[in-house]
Amino acid sequence: MRGDLSRRAAEERDVADPLAGLRDRFVIADPELIYLDGNSLGRLPAATPDALARLVRQDWGTELVRSWSTWIDWGRRLGDRLAAHVLGARPGEVVVSDSTSVNLYKLAAAALDANPGRRTILVDAEEFPTDRYLLQGLAAQRGLTVRTLASDLDEGLTPTDVRQALDDQVALVVLSAVAYRSGTLLDLAAVNAAAREVGAYVLWDLSHAAGSVPVELTASGADLAVGCTYKYLNGGPGAPAFLYVRQELQARLRQPIWGWFGQRDQFRMGPEYDPAPDIDRFLVGTPPILSLAALDPALDVLAEAGIDRLRAKGVGLGELMVDLADAWLTPLGFTLASPRDPHRRGSHICLAHPDALRISRALISEARVVGDFRVPDRLRLGPAPLYTRYVDVWDGLARLRDLVARGVHEQLPVETLRVT
């Protein structure tokens, strides 16, 4: 049932929002800009500039190389913070390192090596491109086959789809907990159980899930996961990624990039690679400390909010957005390109429109609303419950409606638009 769609109703929901106070913990440099792209790059936490400045001046500038005695453990320390506050994992199961792509490569290779003889990698046909490409590379190098799971472009996969595709030739399944385009949320526990039955590993990409929906890696029986920290985790542009390996699997799995941060007793610098017995074996090289440092203040705010309250607000924002789209945008040629059931979605929503590229660009330049375009014809809008208000969703969609109704986007020359 659709609620009250007035702006006043949105204002009232903001007043009642238990997370409303946390918006002040972010830099809102331009109050006129409506930012609905926190699913791509999260906002700057207000505490981050000072934290970084201190790190640069004190830890680097003054302490110099001596700071490595603490930095050396940051990948693991930040991993434990993520495990506790975001990922539902145990201490020692998560590290922060490298990019999501490199982490996915490492864990996918480790899983394939641990499942020799099986010929198939299973992946959502609509999986984020880097994941698909990486698996194509691993398959090419090993003579394996990547089988894509065709899913409804808007509704996404269900655990049943996955279960039906599984057989004893599947070595590895790679899926996003929240799909990057449709926002479809998959039930981790159901997929993990189905895969375990046939002896396949599941490697989760949590990039759009971490910080937006409750993720219970340990409780859901997850084996492997990776994800980025620059979306709902607000770690900054290109912030280092995380990886998770279930404790019971760590001694059994080996990743292919044998760098010195994965070495047992790293500074002995012995002649032979001898991987650390624990999660450290999934590390490779020296981590980018400035980028790691931005994670702490971001996680502070997230821990304070708590993932359950974030999820509740995320559902509320999403439902408002869908209701407004139904009322205002359907008559203008938009269709919802995400699951309609809020329990089957993460925090972002996709709308399909034949002119989505021009609309997304005009929306930024003419209406000061930031969303993003995704091929082939999708406008993706990602309210972030830590700092997006109900009135932001209302105002953003009102501006979008007015822009399209007035045909403003049609004045943009489409040939000048670069797809990024």
Minimum CB distance to its own copies smaller for 405 or for 414: 414
Question: Please, what is the minimum distance in Å from the beta carbon of residue 98 to its own copies?
Answer: 7
Question: Please, what is the minimum distance in Å from the beta carbon of residue 133 to its own copies?
Answer: 4
Alpha-carbon gap, residue 355 to 407, rounded angstroms: 11
Task: Tell me whether residue 100 is annotated as binding.
Answer: yes
Question: Please, what is the minimum distance in Å from the beta carbon of residue 57 to its own copies?
Answer: 6
Residues from 139 through 198 that contact its own copies (CB under 8 A): 141
Q: Is 277 in the site for its own copies (CB under 8 A)?
A: no
Residues from 103 through 132 that contact its own copies (CB under 8 A): 105, 125, 128-130, 132
Q: Shortest CA distance to 147 belongs to which of 163, 124, 129, 164?
A: 124
Minimum CB distance to its own copies smaller for 240 or for 314: 240
Task: Tell me whether residue 388 is annotated as binding.
Answer: no
Alpha-carbon gap, residue 276 to 262, rounded angstroms: 6
SS3 45: strand
The rounded Cα 163 to chain-centroid distance in angstroms is 24
The two tokens of residue 241 are: 């990624």
Phi, psi dihedral angles at 381 (to 5 degrees):
-125, 120
Task: Tell me whether residue 131 is annotated as binding.
Answer: yes
Q: Say if residues 212 and 232 touch (Cβ distance below 8 Å).
A: yes
Known catalytic residues are 128, 205, 230-231, 380
Q: Say if residues 281 and 262 touch (Cβ distance below 8 Å).
A: yes
Minimum CB distance to its own copies smaller for 108 or for 178: 108
Minimum CB distance to its own copies smaller for 265 or for 308: 265
Question: Please, what is the minimum distance in Å from the beta carbon of residue 5 to its own copies?
Answer: 28
Task: Tell me whether residue 205 is annotated as binding.
Answer: yes
Q: Is 270 in the site for its own copies (CB under 8 A)?
A: yes
Count of CB atoms situated within 10 Å of the CB of 221: 16
Among 158, 176, 220, 291, binds its own copies (CB under 8 A): 291
List beta partners, residue 380.
350, 372
Question: Please, what is the minimum distance in Å from the beta carbon of residue 69 to its own copies?
Answer: 6
Residues from 373 through 392 that contact its own copies (CB under 8 A): 374-375
Q: Is 210 in the site for its own copies (CB under 8 A)?
A: no
Burial class of residue 247 in the structure, from the number of CB atoms within 10 Å of its CB (0-12 exposed, 13-18 middle, 19+ buried): middle
Count of CB atoms situated within 10 Å of the CB of 316: 18
Phi, psi dihedral angles at 201 (to 5 degrees):
-85, 145
Question: Please, what is the minimum distance in Å from the beta carbon of residue 59 to its own copies?
Answer: 8
Residues from 235 through 254 that contact its own copies (CB under 8 A): 236-241
Task: Tell me whether residue 230 is annotated as binding.
Answer: yes
Burial class of residue 2 in the structure, from the number of CB atoms within 10 Å of its CB (0-12 exposed, 13-18 middle, 19+ buried): exposed
> DSSP of 232-253, one letter per residue?
TT---TT---EEEE-HHHHTT-
Q: Which part of the chain contacts its own copies (CB under 8 A), choosing from 116-124, 231-239, 297-305, 390-398?
A: 231-239
Alpha-carbon gap, residue 153 to 179, rounded angstroms: 10
Count of CB atoms situated within 10 Å of the CB of 71: 19
Peptide bond into 18 cis (omega under 30): no
Residues from 35 through 94 that contact its own copies (CB under 8 A): 35, 37, 40-41, 43-44, 48-49, 52-53, 56-57, 59-62, 64-69, 71-72
Q: Is 257 in the site for its own copies (CB under 8 A)?
A: yes
Q: Is 292 in the site for its own copies (CB under 8 A)?
A: yes
Among 1, 15, 16, 419, binds its own copies (CB under 8 A): 419
Alpha-carbon gap, residue 184 to 366, rounded angstroms: 30
The two tokens of residue 216 are: 């219970």
Question: Please, what is the minimum distance in Å from the beta carbon of residue 327 to its own copies?
Answer: 27
Task: Tell me whether residue 208 is annotated as binding.
Answer: yes
Among 5, 9, 20, 27, binds its own copies (CB under 8 A): 27
Q: Which part of the chain contacts its own copies (CB under 8 A), choosing from 280-288, 304-312, 321-329, 395-403?
A: 280-288
Binding residues for pyridoxal 5'-phosphate: 100-101, 128-131, 205, 208, 230, 260, 286
